[in-house]
């Protein structure tokens, strides 16, 4: 099978690493990829939002399947363009990806299909939005409708701060993404990420993970794209997973089909385990990053036939997925200044050393300089991952590898998986 994988982060390095192991694979091209990906696949210098360039590449290589990693490619309409050409694609159309690209769409959809979630209101006018704060109690949750580089959610402790956030968002802080906003009731509990493969008609649970969104140990400091993850997540018991599958995943796939936007790809439910049970925080239309990395390490089955089955609407015919009975854990090593202003260009040595069979290092934001040396090229730079039947040992292995990599400028959280270890 000839596969085109779209994306350049740690998520796509992990997908390429897993797809590369498939006996069905004959050629793997990753666009644009990164130096880690380049060690195991061909790379093509085409941007993830260059729909014309990516469709031309898919045709040129006669791709049997295109796998889309990031939401930017979904929002740009890559899946739609590939469908028009008859190229099989793992990833939702722009209409189906509204589950991620529009918070207002998702909240209204959840209400229509009885998906458990927090009470909300949607607004495009500041005075009406401020008046509606009467219906909510602090802390106020204010979300820009569209994608705002992960910065579109404000948890405001006071009414004044909530009103300021409303003014900022509707005043153009996030451009078109903030032309509408959602105010939501604050949910308490523990958050987890639940994944499902979907083929437009049916869904198959694809594991759960827990992310670490704050930059600092003990969940302190500003939000990030995720400083680490581990899977499985003990908070997601079989009973809670079954509830999420029935009331969120299955209800959503059925609802999207009924509304004329069948959902194909991976559906990522951000779930809050509240005292009243699991509730939907948000959907994403892609694998989580770094959650994907730990899922790929745990997955024992060949991934490729499942991705193709999703693209071809045959998921119901596939055998059950098999998983290693281990915890996989990922430590994100970031550039100084992340998330506000990451400093790029510092030199990294030893990231590609052999750390043993239980440790895998994925590249997230790296580049090579003219002499071939590895440099930091983004905020989240390396994903140092390990797996072991014992979560404490997986963590020990991952941090031993972090400490062996020679990159004095990089930093990481030192408490990944603390919830699993203190349960």
Is 206 within 8 Å of 197 (Cβ atoms)?
A: yes
Rg of the chain over Cα atoms, rounded to whole angstroms, equals 21
Shortest distance in whole angstroms from residue 155 CB to ligand GLY: 17
What are the start-end ranges of the H helices in 333-390? none
Structure tokens at 3: 């596969």
Q: Which is nearer to ligand GLY, 70 or 178 (CB)?
A: 70
Asked if 210 is part of the footprint of ligand GLY (rule: CB under 6 A), the reply reads no
Q: Which is nearer to ligand GLY, 289 or 415 (CB)?
A: 289
**Per this entry, what is the length of the chain?**
423
Q: What are the residues whose beta carbons fall under 8 Å from the beta carbon of 232, sequence distance 6 or more?
A: 207, 208, 209, 298, 327
Contacts (CB under 6 A) with ligand GLY, residues 378-407: none
Q: Which is nearer to ligand GLY, 121 or 378 (CB)?
A: 378
Q: Which is nearer to ligand GLY, 87 or 177 (CB)?
A: 177
Q: Which is nearer to ligand GLY, 58 or 280 (CB)?
A: 280
Question: Stretches 77-85, 286-294, 301-309, 323-331: which one binds ligand GLY (CB under 6 A)?
Answer: 286-294
Binding mask 219-258 for ligand GLY (x = CB under 6 A): ------xx--------------------------------
Q: Which is nearer to ligand GLY, 58 or 294 (CB)?
A: 294
Among 122, 145, 184, 291, binds ligand GLY (CB under 6 A): 291
Q: Which is nearer to ligand GLY, 136 or 338 (CB)?
A: 338
Asked if 100 is part of the footprint of ligand GLY (rule: CB under 6 A), the reply reads no
Contacts (CB under 6 A) with ligand GLY, residues 46-75: none
Shortest distance in whole angstroms from residue 269 CB to ligand GLY: 11
Q: What are phi and psi of 270, to 5 degrees?
A: -80, 115
Question: Stretches 26-34, 121-129, 282-290, 384-392: which one binds ligand GLY (CB under 6 A)?
Answer: 282-290
Looking at residue 319, the DSSP 8-state letter turns out to be P
**Which of 334, 327, 316, 423 is closest to 379 using CA atoms?**
334
**Which of 411, 410, 412 is closest to 345 using CA atoms?**
410
Is 339 within 8 Å of 379 (Cβ atoms)?
A: yes
- Distance CA(54)–CA(73), nearest Å, equals 10
Is 275 within 8 Å of 189 (Cβ atoms)?
A: yes
- Residue 57: enclosing H or E segment and its boundaries? helix 51-60
Question: Stretches 114-122, 134-142, 195-203, 283-291: which one binds ligand GLY (CB under 6 A)?
Answer: 283-291
Shortest distance in whole angstroms from residue 212 CB to ligand GLY: 9
Among 12, 145, 211, 415, binds ligand GLY (CB under 6 A): 211
Question: Stretches 198-206, 243-251, 284-292, 332-340: which one binds ligand GLY (CB under 6 A)?
Answer: 284-292
Q: Which is nearer to ligand GLY, 223 or 274 (CB)?
A: 223
Q: Which is nearer to ligand GLY, 121 or 228 (CB)?
A: 228
Q: Which residue is nearest to ligand GLY (CB)?
A: 226
Going 310 to 316 to 319 to 320, the CA torsion angle's sign is positive
**Which of 91, 94, 86 is closest to 58 using CA atoms?**
86
Shortest distance in whole angstroms from residue 27 CB to ligand GLY: 28
Burial of 384-406, coded b for 16+ CB within 10 Å and e otherwise, reads: bbbbbeebebbbebbbebbeebe
Among 12, 145, 289, 326, binds ligand GLY (CB under 6 A): 289
Question: Stretches 27-35, 273-281, 288-296, 313-321: which one binds ligand GLY (CB under 6 A)?
Answer: 288-296
Q: Which is nearer to ligand GLY, 50 or 282 (CB)?
A: 282
DSSP-based three-state secondary structure for 182: strand
User: Interior CA angle at 390 toward 293 and 403, to 5°?
Assistant: 60
Q: Which is nearer to ligand GLY, 91 or 121 (CB)?
A: 91
DSSP-based three-state secondary structure for 54: helix
**Which of 23, 6, 417, 35 is closest to 234 using CA atoms?**
417
Asked if 288 is part of the footprint of ligand GLY (rule: CB under 6 A), the reply reads yes
Shortest distance in whole angstroms from residue 209 CB to ligand GLY: 9
Question: Stretches 39-47, 75-83, 281-289, 299-307: which one binds ligand GLY (CB under 6 A)?
Answer: 281-289
Asked if 284 is part of the footprint of ligand GLY (rule: CB under 6 A), the reply reads yes
- Distance CA(333)–CA(384), nearest Å, equals 7
On the 0-12 / 13-18 / 19+ scale of CB atoms within 10 A, 127 is exposed
Residue numbers at the binding site for ligand GLY (CB under 6 A): 211, 225-226, 284, 288-289, 291
């Amino acid at each position: 099978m000839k596969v085109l994988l779209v994306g350049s982060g740690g998520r796509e390095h992990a997908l390429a690493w897993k797809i590369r192991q498939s006996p069905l694979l004959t050629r793997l091209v990753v666009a644009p990829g990164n130096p880690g990906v380049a060690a195991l696949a061909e790379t093509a210098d085409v941007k993830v939002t260059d729909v014309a360039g990516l469709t031309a590449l898919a045709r040129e290589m006669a791709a049997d399947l295109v796998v889309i990693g990031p939401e930017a490619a979904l929002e740009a309409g890559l899946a739609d363009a590939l469908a028009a050409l008859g190229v099989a694609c793992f990833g939702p159309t722009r209409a189906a990806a509204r589950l991620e690209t529009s918070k207002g769409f998702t909240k209204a959809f959840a209400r229509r299909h009885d998906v458990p979630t927090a009470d909300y209101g949607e607004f495009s006018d500041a005075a009406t939005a401020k008046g509606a704060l009467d219906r909510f109690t602090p802390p106020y949750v204010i979300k820009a409708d569209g994608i705002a580089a992960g910065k579109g959610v404000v948890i405001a402790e006071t009414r004044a701060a909530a009103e300021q956030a409303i003014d900022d968002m509707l005043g153009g802080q996030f451009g078109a993404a903030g032309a509408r906003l959602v105010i939501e009731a604050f949910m308490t509990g523990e958050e987890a990420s639940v994944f499902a493969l979907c083929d437009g008609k049916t869904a198959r649970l694809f594991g759960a993970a827990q992310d670490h969104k704050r930059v600092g140990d003990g969940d302190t400091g500003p939000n990030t794209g995720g400083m680490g993850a581990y899977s499985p997540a003990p908070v997601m018991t079989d009973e809670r997973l079954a509830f999420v599958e029935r009331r969120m995943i299955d209800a959503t796939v059925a609802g999207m089909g009924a509304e004329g936007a069948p959902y194909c790809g991976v559906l990522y439910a951000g779930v809050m385990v509240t005292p009243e049970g699991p509730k939907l925080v948000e959907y994403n239309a892609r694998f989580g990053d770094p959650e994907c990395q730990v899922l790929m390490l745990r997955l024992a089955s060949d991934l490729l036939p499942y991705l193709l089955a999703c693209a071809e609407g045959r998921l119901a015919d596939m055998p059950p997925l098999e998983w290693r009975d281990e915890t996989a854990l990922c430590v994100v090593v970031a550039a100084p200044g992340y998330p506000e202003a990451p400093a790029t260009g510092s030199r990294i040595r030893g990231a590609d050393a052999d750390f043993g069979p239980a440790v895998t290092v994925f590249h997230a934001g790296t580049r090579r300089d003219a002499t071939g040396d590895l440099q930091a090229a983004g905020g989240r730079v390396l994903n140092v991952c390990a797996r072991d039947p014992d979560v404490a040992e997986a963590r020990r292995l991952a941090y031993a590898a972090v400490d062996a990599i020679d990159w004095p400028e990089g930093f990481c959280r030192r408490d990944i998986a603390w919830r699993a270890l203190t349960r």
